[in-house]
């Protein structure tokens, strides 16, 4: 999967020409996204972005992760990132992660992107289970999981590292047999 589109949103693989904008968006979001994600820091630059894109392309080829930039419907304005990662082929599940640039937060973009990825995860990739794991204090990410109808399974102690410190995380799950998405989409391989 290289591109998933739906009315109002486009998830696509980032390309080399996106590097400068991606780096600027990351730096814009240090105060909010950087609070939870160590890679989101004030020194993030275009070389970091290109390295990330190359790692994503390799993971996509190997089917070990499917990471996307979240863009406006026309694929031009970068709004954030989302992906299916930490794939367990043995147990047929993955993690669903997302982040939204600071200037676009609070508009439902993460929820729309997560719906598209859950659809693709269940319908295109055939996963039985998709997990969403967020630090217990990351109320915005937990709110997205709840909007999707994900079930809170536990508060896992020392599950995530935030700022070099282990923290408790809420572990939510979506199951294929429970998933009923209303957002239509188009997947391009």
Task: Tell me the sheet residues that pair with 68.
Answer: 82
Which CATH number covers residue 118?
3.40.630.30
Structure confidence at residue 180 as a pLDDT band (50, 70, 90):
confident
Comparing CA positions, the residue from 94, 67, 51 lying closest to residue 2 is: 67
Specify the number of domains making up the chain: 1
pLDDT per position as a tens digit, 38-57: 999 999 999 999 999 999 99
The single residue listed with the structure tokens 């294929």 is 176
Structure confidence at residue 183 as a pLDDT band (50, 70, 90):
low
Structural domain that includes position 17: 3-188
- Record the tokens describing residue 150, joined without a space: 């994900």
Task: State the pairing for strand pair 151-162/165-175.
Answer: antiparallel
């Amino acid at each position: 999967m290289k591109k998933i589109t739906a009315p109002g949103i486009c998830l696509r693989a980032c390309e080399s020409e996106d590097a400068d904008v991606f780096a600027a968006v990351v730096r814009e979001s240090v105060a909010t996204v950087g609070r939870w994600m160590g890679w989101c820091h004030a020194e993030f630059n275009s070389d970091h972005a290109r390295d990330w894109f190359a790692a994503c392309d390799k993971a996509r080829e190997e089917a070990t992760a499917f990471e996307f930039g979240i863009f406006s419907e026309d694929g031009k304005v970068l709004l954030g990132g989302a992906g299916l990662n930490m794939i367990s082929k043995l147990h047929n599940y993955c993690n669903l992660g997302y982040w939204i640039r600071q200037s676009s937060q609070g508009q439902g973009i993460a929820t729309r992107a997560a719906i598209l990825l859950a659809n693709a995860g269940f319908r295109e990739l055939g996963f039985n289970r998709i997990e969403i794991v967020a630090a217990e204090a990351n109320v915005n990410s937990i709110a997205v999981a709840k909007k999707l109808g994900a079930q809170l399974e536990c508060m896992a102690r020392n599950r995530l590292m935030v700022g070099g410190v282990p923290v408790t995380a809420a572990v939510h799950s979506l199951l294929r047999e429970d998933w009923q998405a209303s957002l239509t989409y188009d997947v391009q391989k």
